[in-house]
Amino acid sequence: MERKIRVVQMGLGPIGNKSTIYLAERPQAFEIVGAVDLDPAKVGQDVGVLAGLAPLGVTVTADLHSVLSHGNIDVVLLTTASSLVKVESQLTAILPYGVNIVSSCEELSYPWLTQPEIAKRVDALAKQHNVSVLSTGVNPGFLMDFLPMALTGVCRHVNKITVERIQDATFRRIPFQKKIGAGLTLAEFDQKIAEGTLRHVGLTESIHLIAAKRGWKLNATEDNISPIVARHDVKTEYLDIKAGMALGVQQIGRGLVGDNEVIRMVFRAAIGEPETKDRIIIDGSPAIDSCIKGGVNGDVATCAILINSIPVTINARPGLRTMADIEPIACFA
Amino acid sequence: MERKIRVVQMGLGPIGNKSTIYLAERPQAFEIVGAVDLDPAKVGQDVGVLAGLAPLGVTVTADLHSVLSHGNIDVVLLTTASSLVKVESQLTAILPYGVNIVSSCEELSYPWLTQPEIAKRVDALAKQHNVSVLSTGVNPGFLMDFLPMALTGVCRHVNKITVERIQDATFRRIPFQKKIGAGLTLAEFDQKIAEGTLRHVGLTESIHLIAAKRGWKLNATEDNISPIVARHDVKTEYLDIKAGMALGVQQIGRGLVGDNEVIRMVFRAAIGEPETKDRIIIDGSPAIDSCIKGGVNGDVATCAILINSIPVTINARPGLRTMADIEPIACFA
């Protein structure tokens, strides 16, 4: 890299703050030149301090336009929301400044079939301003879409792809255990589902990414969420879970060609799962049975791939890119 | 795909013939429009018949120029040799016709550091004629370079990458057992090494691909081959191997930064290996331990990825591309 990549951070929640740390530890590659968040509690703070670092000399502002008007920005790292409807106005505010975008917005990871009108608008605007947009992360973005898709590259034919992301939450911290619904009654669990706070966003996008690349025209997708129910009392360091309460969550995604299930995604996080793993099974020629033992730590991995994808996104063909049509992303630090 | 991709097959050895079969079974995507081989025993034959299929109506010729002059060719599938020195004149004969090239030449998979002058010449010529060149395969090309490189994409930092391709040859066919030196005396084994017929070509290229993408400036690479020696007599269906004879071959590649081994490649194929597998271990954050149980069948996989990479190569940025800088390849049939 001849000169540092100039980054504006937008959205300083947990992912944004962790990204600050990861950017700051690669000073030969990146320079944080702006930080944007609407939260009045964050505005005026130093973006480094907000992330738990020493001050970086960049103050959080709510005024995106003043930051971008400054000019000479290579990329905005956009970590604001999971919903593409919410994020679209942010994308359309940024792109006219001729600035590339790397985003963690799950619904933007492969929106061509789920929200095609927005996808087309974002793509057209990015092309008009000769910049690229990529949304990625560990999931969606990598484990349940890019990686199985890439593994089919060595296949003569593929009948079915099964992806399992299984996490044993027994020894995880309490915020994670609560996030997956462990210790809830089934009524409480259902309420969280109804509120939308328990759902992993992006399973349908992952299914569509694989299917499109594979050439499968899906006539239906499913995304079903349910509790993993304790069959007997379970005690962890933090929780006392009675039989009949939730140990965690399971989400099953399916992609169908006719009546055939050609893609099956199992995303399960619960207390007492026998094995944490990321497994991909390709029923094809050759058959492939790939397993990452112990799984991939999601918090680290999502921020890492966001940072790692920045140079590739800047150099990509203009438009809305996805993990299905961007050059390989690797760790470079 | 709006119209079929018009392919010329060049080099009709085992990989070329298998590629014919794989191309022919995707008639909606590909049309074989020419076939080139210098072997007088193959010239004049139908390329389908040569591959064990029904006739495809394409006759093998030794005259590359007459085939390419015909015009309207999208890609040459070049499966002639492992040595880039041997292949360069073929590349430079094809590129002025404005035709893309997908190749199985191992030394072309990442020649930027091993044979930089040739790499630059091929790159310049491809750019001049606005086409792309990609060399790929299962190994080099995928298992020991692309896949570990891609897995680092979710890493915050990486200290070391270890890749193991281990194959138990006990139940493989006799040509494979012979190819890996099983049943040879150590003197015979050494002679095969000296002849160059036992060596896996491409380990150093794989190491350089990963290192370049990772940002490691290697000050040395190693590629050491040795026999796996029988400690007691072993009998297989075909072979009677006495203690002290070779069970197979091991090749170890190393990439060093200073005295630190940052990349380690273990390629081992022998009778009696306890487990066939393709394993990638990333010492980093997060740590990743990925294993393809039973490994990936190399014969099928190499021809499959050659075919699967054709559309991506045609659409790639002009020049010499590698698996480090081309958009993702997936099975589309």
Nearest CA in chain A to B280: A292
Q: pLDDT by residue (tens digit) across A267-304?
A: 999 999 999 999 999 999 999 999 999 999 898 999 99
Domains and CATH numbers, chain A: 5-137+300-321 (3.40.50.720), 146-295 (3.30.360)
Nearest CA in chain A to B304: A156
Q: pLDDT by residue (tens digit) across A298-332?
A: 989 999 999 999 999 999 999 999 999 999 999 99
Cβ atoms of B9 and B36 within 8 Å: the answer is yes
Q: For residue B270, give the 3-state DSSP assignment.
A: strand
Q: Minimal Cα–Cα distance from B253 to chain A, Å?
A: 21
Given an 8 Å threshold on Cβ–Cβ distance, is A325 in contact with B324?
A: no
Q: Minimal Cα–Cα distance from A151 to chain B, Å?
A: 7
A1, pLDDT greater than 60: no
The pair of structure tokens assigned to A208 is: 């569509």
**Nearest 5°: CA angle at B291, between B287 and B297?**
150
Cβ atoms of A281 and B294 within 8 Å: the answer is no
A2 pLDDT band (50/70/90 cuts)?
low
Q: If you ran DSSP here, which 8-state letter would residue B137 be given?
A: -
Given an 8 Å threshold on Cβ–Cβ distance, is B157 in contact with A331?
A: yes
Any chain A CB within 8 A of the CB of B257?
A: no
pLDDT for the residue numbered B299: 86
List CB contacts (< 8 A) between A147 and chain B: 150
Distance CA A254, CA A219 (A): 11
The pair of structure tokens assigned to A53 is: 């670092």
Q: pLDDT by residue (tens digit) across A6-24?
A: 999 999 999 999 999 999 9
List CB contacts (< 8 A) between B146 and chain A: 150, 328
Distance CA A287, CA A169 (A): 30
Residue B327 Cα to chain centre, angstroms: 18
Count other C-beta atoms under 10 Å from residue A113's C-beta: 16
Burial readout A116-155 (b: 16 or more C-beta within 10 A, e: otherwise): eebbeebbebbeeeebbbbbbbbbbbbbbbbbbbbbbbbb
Distance CA A126, CA A94 (A): 10
Q: Looking at residues B307-326, what average pLDDT do you find?
A: 98
Task: Write down the mean pLDDT value for chain B.
Answer: 96
Strands (E) across chain A are located at 5-10, 30-36, 60-61, 75-78, 100-103, 132-135, 157-168, 220-229, 234-235, 240-241, 246-257, 260-270, 277-285, 288-293, 319-321
List CB contacts (< 8 A) between B302 and chain A: 154
Task: Write down the mean pLDDT value for chain A.
Answer: 96
List CB contacts (< 8 A) between B149 and chain A: 328, 330
Cα torsion A228, A234, A235, A237: sign:
negative
Count other C-beta atoms under 10 Å from residue B231's C-beta: 10
pLDDT for the residue numbered B127: 98
List CB contacts (< 8 A) between A328 and chain B: 146, 149-150, 153, 213, 323-326, 328
Nearest CA in chain A to B212: A332
Cβ atoms of B124 and B310 within 8 Å: the answer is no
Any chain B CB within 8 A of the CB of A220?
A: no
Which amino acid is present at B9? Answer: Q
List CB contacts (< 8 A) between B287 and chain A: 294
Q: pLDDT by residue (tens digit) across B197-229?
A: 898 999 999 999 999 999 999 999 999 999 999
Cα torsion B250, B256, B259, B261: sign:
negative
Any chain B CB within 8 A of the CB of A157?
A: yes
The pair of structure tokens assigned to A141 is: 């973005």
Given an 8 Å threshold on Cβ–Cβ distance, is B149 in contact with A304?
A: no
Strand partners, B270: B168, B248
Strands (E) across A38-180 are located at 60-61, 75-78, 100-103, 132-135, 157-168
Any chain A CB within 8 A of the CB of B12?
A: no
- Among B25, B144, B154, most A C-beta atoms within 10 A, so best to mutate, is B154
